């Protein structure tokens, strides 16, 4: 139940934060929430149309029910290269790599 309150509070806070993307000439740093968890992401330009993005996403969850305990940890670190082919547009083509440290454990309590 506690995790639901934390997620609800995070959704409310993040709903008021505007994304700082598109075609900015300087770097940007922002927070996000999504299916990969709560995260932070930064980006910096290489030139006028190419940007590099690096982020970290994390979400821990523990569920206890009857005689079982389930722990889920979502952890990812994406490194992306964004190409904006059109000026004054948010459209981008992205490619990159990501570290996936997701874990699931299930324990039976006697």
The domain that holds 99 is classified in CATH as 2.40.160.170
Neighbouring C-beta atoms of residue 26, cutoff 10 Å: 8
Express each pLDDT in 85-98 by its tens digit: 887 777 889 999 99
Nearest to 48 by CA among 18, 19, 22: 22
pLDDT of 3 over the 80 cut? no
Domain range for 6 is 2-108
For residues 63 and 44, give the distance between their C-alpha atoms in angstroms, rounded to a whole number.
39
Domain count for the chain = 1
To the question of pTM greater than 0.85 for the whole model, the response is no
Express each pLDDT in 19-39 by its tens digit: 544 445 678 888 888 888 899
């Amino acid at each position: 139940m506690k995790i639901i309150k934390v997620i609800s509070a995070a959704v409310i806070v993040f709903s008021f934060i505007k994304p700082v993307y598109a075609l900015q000439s300087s770097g940007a740093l922002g927070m996000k929430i999504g299916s990969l968890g709560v995260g932070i992401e930064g980006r910096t330009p290489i030139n006028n149309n190419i940007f590099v993005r690096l982020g970290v996403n994390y979400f821990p969850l523990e569920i206890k029910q009857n005689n079982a305990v389930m722990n889920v940890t979502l952890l990812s670190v994406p490194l992306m290269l964004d190409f904006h082919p059109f000026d004054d547009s948010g459209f981008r083509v992205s490619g990159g790599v990501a570290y996936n440290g997701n874990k699931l454990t299930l324990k039976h309590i006697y």
